[in-house]
Amino acid sequence: MQHHLVLKTAGLPPKKTGTLVIYAMEGKPPEGAAVAIWQATGLEWERTARAAAFAGRQGQVIDILTPPNLDADRLLVLGAGKPDDGQTHGLTGWADRGGSLMAKILATRAGKAAVVVDGPEATPQAIAELAAGLRLRHYSFEKYRTFARKEELNGEPGELAVTLCVADKAAVDKAIDKRMAVVAGTLLARDLINEPANVLGPEEFTGIAVELSAMGVEVEVLTEEEMGKLGMKALLSVAQGSDRPARLVVMQWHGGRKKDAPVAFVGKGVCFDTGGISIKPAGSMEDMKGDMGGAAAVTGLMKALAGRRARVNAVGVIGLVENMPDGKATRPGDIVTAMSGKTIEIINTDAEGRLVLADALWYTQDRFNPRFMVNLATLTGAIIVGLGHDYAGLFSNSDDLSAQLYAAGLASGEKVWRLPMGPAYAKLIESRFADIKNTGGRAAGSITAAQFLAHFVNDTPWAHLDIAGTAFGAKASETSTGWAPGFGVALLDRLIEEHYEG
């Protein structure tokens, strides 16, 4: 059980604090406002650094307990790396620095910490990223624990107050407020993915999305009956083996001009995926509670846009189902008709996410005529084989949109890599009995899944992000303790901010 985190800013460090943090660049003693703090200790810099084997590289630390002449329990001197590191790695380097800092603060078990952040690279935007890293790394999902492991306790339950000591408090506060809106969206996505499936089904997920209406998001919910009248038989075929009814949730943020067409985001929301009749192996099936990672990212994005009052019109559409095997479940060999009128032979009921997206994509482009559509889905295990857990797979019919997403990925730290599409791959999903089939087999599995989705986007500029390797099962990083990092929210927010606002 951790403290509640309170982030504050100030011009000078508090007179008394638990842990005081300053930085030193590689090969240099502390500079700027940190000089007076270090000099107050009366310690010799070169001798101390040599004894601690400290060269100022990222990750290095000098830890001084009860530092002389300072009203603090602890002084941490952290390596800041080379002066150009912030530029080399962009603002994501500052988020990583914040995550690393939080890990060190938590290790001290302090209730209060003050961090001196200055220097020419410490712009308000950079400090906002540092704050984001602090908050993201502090996150934990412990609501179902009835105990806390002793080694994980950060003192007694209460507040962890971290004060960032900065030169321009007003500018930094403004930048942090904006960045924290996106962090809140990321943390919502993490919470949704971490929830067990017995707690979070389609109806419960819908209830959480509806709560965004309090922030000004217009939320509309389509029931199974309403989807049936629209002809969404592909989506409904996935849900028919479950006692839990499917839902399609439409979220709209009206932050731009009325005449501006919206940007649109579509998420796969399989709240639990057994594979259906084509049932999955038992090993790691518990992870399939995260098969709604695309819907979680879209919902988190809508919260982020509303939270920072983004100047854009945006639509988020999520198809929520549970894929279960019973007497009513879809069988391999069944043929269904999608909302578009296209017929689909279902070869494998475990290739279900693309059936959900088929109707959700068609509905979105048909109703909203958006400037572009991006769908996110934990779609294929094949993408993990190809790209591991560091990059999401990108497939698109638009070179411009692909380039924008790639750049936004580098800037946000949520990276994407484009893979090919084309007639040779489209041929693999041709069906003997229907217009197309829902899987082309093991070869190029991620690509044929994208080729399937391309049938339902018409001429709309479109990108498909296969986030099976990045939405859950991810390794720990500086800003995440692992498994569910909330991938996609920061990426798409950056895409909108840089290209589609105003």
Query: Is the distance from CB of 464 to CB of 380 less than 8 angstroms?
Result: no
Neighbours of 475 (CB within 10 A): 12
Distance CA 192, CA 484 (A): 9
Burial class (CB in 10 A: 0-12, 13-18, 19+), 278: buried
Distance CA 115, CA 131 (A): 11
Distance CA 10, CA 114 (A): 9
Which one from 8, 169, 280, 311 is the annotated catalytic residue? 280
> What token pair was written down for 250?
């439409």
Q: What's CA 229's distance to the chain center, in Å?
A: 34
Query: Is the distance from CB of 405 to CB of 419 less than 8 angstroms?
Result: no
Burial class (CB in 10 A: 0-12, 13-18, 19+), 90: middle
229 is catalytic: no
Which one from 135, 354, 415, 494 is the annotated catalytic residue? 354
Q: Which string of DSSP letters, residue by residue, matches 391-419?
A: -EEEEES-HHHHHHHHHHHHHHT--EEE-
280 is catalytic: yes
Query: Is the distance from CB of 305 to CB of 493 less than 8 angstroms?
Result: yes
Distance CA 415, CA 467 (A): 10
Residues noted as catalytic: 280, 354
